[in-house]
Structure 1
Amino acid sequence: MSNLKVSSTGVPQFTARDYSSFFFAGAICCTLTHGAMTPIDVVKTRIQIDPALKRSSLLKGGRYIIAQEGPTALLTGFGPTAVGYLVQGGAKFAGYEFWKKQFVNVAGGQEDAVKYRTAIYLGAASVAEFFADILLTPLEATRIRLVSQRGYATGLVTGFTRLAREGGIREMYAGFLPILCKQIPYAIGQFTVNEFCHELAFRSMSEETRRSLSPTAKFGISLGSGITAGCAAAVLSQPADTLLSQINKGHGPTGSMVYRLTTLAKEAGFRGLFAGTGPRMVMTSGLVAGQFLIYGWLKEAMGAPPGLEIHKE
């Protein structure tokens, strides 16, 4: 176990080794879950950008793609998905732990931070996601090109190389603003709702009861919190997710990114922006619940300390 030191204000003093454990656990949990969800993500992306699949259900869209292009089409973009979320997941989870601790220090310590916990969750999730998205954006652009343009490239390396060669940094980061608009609300829903679900579950328990929880009870709390957080993350980030797919497909007018996003949003309308929300909620609830479960297991296996907790008793 990690020999965790605590400051006079009750804030854990995480070491470089602790943060490396957070990074590794976050990287593995995001790679495994996002990689496993590739077929659903392929169908979801195609529903957003392919007129032939507009308003299709997840099942109907999947059947159509298999009939037209074969089963392997559902694994399109697996490479950039796995690598992209390896680096993004590590940076996001470790970053969230880091920034939450910094904001707790700013608030004056663990006890004083409780009344500001909502702002701390929002701030830590947002800042961590911002830096993680710098790593994710080029690989996400590659993935969407592979999914939306059949024959664009044979895989991760050839797709990334072609995108870099033909578009350069400008094209690789064309989706940075919309991906921030998507991923920051996603992270806010993921971490903030998960924190409050755990707080709600633990609030009525004594410290002794909490320490003696069975593995099944702990699993149930983590699973339920993760599923709820995943649904919130999907709804909050859905409009920007739709716009991101459109931008990487090359849709919309020329001009500044803000102008393009505004124009595409007006063209899509409310219903268009939320196209594919059902499939995405299914995908995201599984993603987020799986991520938190795997993240917790890996941290425990590596002897890493638990995250800083500022729940209201």
Structure 2
Amino acid sequence: MAQSREPYINLTVTIPEQHHPHHPHPPYDRPLTPSTTGPKSSKKSGASSETNSNDNNKNNAESKYPNPLYSALAGGFGGMVGDSLMHSLDTVKTRQQGASHIPKYSSTIPAYVTIFKEEGFRRGLYGGYGAAMLGSFPSSAVFFLTYESLKKVGIENFGLNETVVYLGSGFLGDFAASIFYVPTEVLKTRLQLQGRYNNPYFKSGYNYSSTWNAVQQIVKVEGWRTLFFGYKATLFRDLPFSALQFAFYEKFRQWAFMFTGVSSSDDNNSKSDDGLPLSLELLTGAAAGGLAGIITTPTDVVKTRMQTQNENTSQLILKSNSILKSLATVYQRQGFVGLFSGVGPRFVWTSIQSSVMLLLYQVTLRALSTGEIELE
């Protein structure tokens, strides 16, 4: 994101505006038409100008950052759509990580085709989709609400370094969202690994007939704490991922604006907030998510195996709850190939999911902020 302001897809009109270089969000609530009132007298005009200037500064200070409710709704919507589009590829990634000993899942495209042919679309590639959606909207909403709020406090109130604020806000935003997505992540990964009910093509050690049946069986047989199994491993993966993703995203946005020459300068003579071309909107989000996804793949491998492993299969079992020891075990037994199993689909998944989510977030946020979408 450019340091000068938050870019948005321009859905309606372009409003020329000057921004402070450290306030990334444009004012949403300013009037769309200029005042036509002329000066009354030199004295009154000066007083009026000073008053209007103070009012404008106050209004701008209040509107540089999005409404928290709008952030939550836009973030929840963007996250849900992004997760929905990429769920099938996430299933392939889960098979590669949780069943790395099965040759037919070793390559991404052949694995995708195999799962589709053997198990179908709904119960195969989209196995665990219902569980994923249980956590997708609320966790994304809480994340963006927390991220935007902390970003405003860090930059506006404390004047902290922007990159540090982006890293910290992404880290803490994901921590706040984890209470919603960790239990559903356990359900999702098990159902993805299992595939279709009574699956004759792959024995995962699990056989749930539905998401609700999975909840019942887990609580009854293994206890409710199992729904939070791998919590530490999930946080160890997702907190750095979100911190890196949004730090990269903000920096790539800044570079994109510099490249296009749109609103890239930090002086008061910068061009109007025209926004980035759609191609760059998608590219910045994809690059941020993809790069963060590659870096955090080893912890994703450990998380997936911790949440899906059982003694009824021949897969590598992680005996320790220590993340570092588990990483060492995977490396000792399977090398870098094991640590980065599923990196291909994870890279594609995080790239596309990130670009779609962030694009829809900004578009929806803009529509809510300008009144194009009204909440009754």
TM-score normalised by structure 2 residue count: 0.70
SS where residue 84 of structure 2 aligns? Answer: helix
Bigger shift: residues 64-73 or 175-184: 64-73
Q: State the alpha-carbon separation in 2 of the partners of residues 81 and 74 from structure 1.
A: 13
Q: CA deviation at 1:158?
A: 2.3
Q: State the alpha-carbon separation in 1 of the partners of residues 144 and 330 from structure 2.
A: 32
Contact 2:29/2:370 (8 A) holds in 1: no
Select the residue among 279, 282, 290 that pairs with 2:356: 290
Contact 1:178/1:240 (8 A) holds in 2: yes
Q: State the alpha-carbon separation in 2 of the partners of residues 6 and 57 from structure 1.
A: 58
2:69 corresponding residue in structure 1 = 20
2:89 corresponding residue in structure 1 = 40
1:302 corresponding residue in structure 2 = 368
> What is the CA deviation profile of residues 8-65 of structure 1, one whole-angstrom value per residue up to 9, with x for unaligned ones?
8x865789x9111111111111111111211111111111122224772221001222
Select the residue among 194, 217, 226 that pairs with 1:162: 217
Structure 2 matches for 1:72-111, cutoff 5 A? 72=122, 73-105=124-156, 107=158, 109=159
2:42 corresponding residue in structure 1 = none
Q: State the alpha-carbon separation in 1 of the partners of residues 162 and 241 from structure 2.
A: 18
> What is the CA deviation profile of residues 260-298 of structure 1, one whole-angstrom value per residue up to 9, with x for unaligned ones?
455345434322111121121111111000011100111
Root-mean-square deviation over aligned CA pairs: 2.8
Bigger shift: residues 46-55 or 60-69: 46-55
Structure (1 or 2) with the greater helix fraction: 1
Relative to structure 1, the CA distance from residue 120 to residue 185 in structure 2 (aligned partners, 3 Å threshold; closer, same or farther) is same
2:79 corresponding residue in structure 1 = 30
One-letter amino acid of the structure 1 residue matched with residue 338 of structure 2: G
Contact 1:55/1:275 (8 A) holds in 2: no
Q: State the alpha-carbon separation in 1 of the partners of residues 231 and 178 from structure 2.
A: 8
Relative to structure 1, the CA distance from residue 218 to residue 55 in structure 2 (aligned partners, 3 Å threshold; closer, same or farther) is same
Select the residue among 175, 199, 207 that pairs with 1:130: 175
Structure 2 matches for 1:40-59, cutoff 5 A? 40-50=89-99, 51-53=101-103, 56-59=106-109
Q: State the alpha-carbon separation in 2 of the partners of residues 54 and 266 from structure 1.
A: 23
Asked if residue 69 in structure 1 is aligned to residue 69 in structure 2, the reply is no
Q: CA deviation at 1:68?
A: 2.8
Bigger Rg, which one: 2
Structure 2 matches for 1:179-218, cutoff 5 A? 179-203=234-258, 204=261, 205-206=264-265, 210-211=271-272, 213=274, 217-218=276-277
Q: State the alpha-carbon separation in 1 of the partners of residues 193 and 251 from structure 2.
A: 37
Indicate the percent of aligned positions where both proteins have the same amino acid. Answer: 24
Q: State the alpha-carbon separation in 1 of the partners of residues 209 and 151 from structure 2.
A: 41
Contact 1:226/1:285 (8 A) holds in 2: yes
Select the residue among 233, 246, 249 that pairs with 1:178: 233
Contact 1:32/1:82 (8 A) holds in 2: no
Q: How many aligned residue pairs are there?
A: 295
Contact 2:229/2:306 (8 A) holds in 1: yes
Q: State the alpha-carbon separation in 2 of the partners of residues 122 and 173 from structure 1.
A: 25
SS where residue 341 of structure 2 aligns? Answer: coil
Contact 2:237/2:300 (8 A) holds in 1: yes
Q: State the alpha-carbon separation in 2 of the partners of residues 261 and 24 from structure 1.
A: 37
Q: State the alpha-carbon separation in 2 of the partners of residues 235 and 246 from structure 1.
A: 18
Q: State the alpha-carbon separation in 1 of the partners of residues 180 and 370 from structure 2.
A: 25
| Structure 1 alignment gaps of length 5 or more | 306-313
SS where residue 125 of structure 1 aligns? Answer: helix
SS where residue 211 of structure 1 aligns? Answer: coil
| Structure 2 alignment gaps of length 5 or more | 1-26, 31-54, 198-206, 310-315, 372-376
Q: State the alpha-carbon separation in 1 of the partners of residues 321 and 273 from structure 2.
A: 56
Contact 1:2/1:18 (8 A) holds in 2: no
SS where residue 180 of structure 2 aligns? Answer: helix
Structure 2 matches for 1:218-297, cutoff 5 A? 218-250=277-309, 252-258=317-323, 259-260=325-326, 262-297=328-363
One-letter amino acid of the structure 1 residue matched with residue 208 of structure 2: A
Q: CA deviation at 1:249?
A: 1.4
Q: CA deviation at 1:160?
A: 2.5
> What is the CA deviation profile of residues 54-105 of structure 1, one whole-angstrom value per residue up to 9, with x for unaligned ones?
7722210012222332333111011111221111111111111111122225
Contact 1:230/1:285 (8 A) holds in 2: yes
SS where residue 223 of structure 1 aligns? Answer: helix
Q: State the alpha-carbon separation in 1 of the partners of residues 63 and 186 from structure 2.
A: 37
Contact 2:183/2:227 (8 A) holds in 1: yes
Relative to structure 1, the CA distance from residue 278 to residue 210 in structure 2 (aligned partners, 3 Å threshold; closer, same or farther) is farther
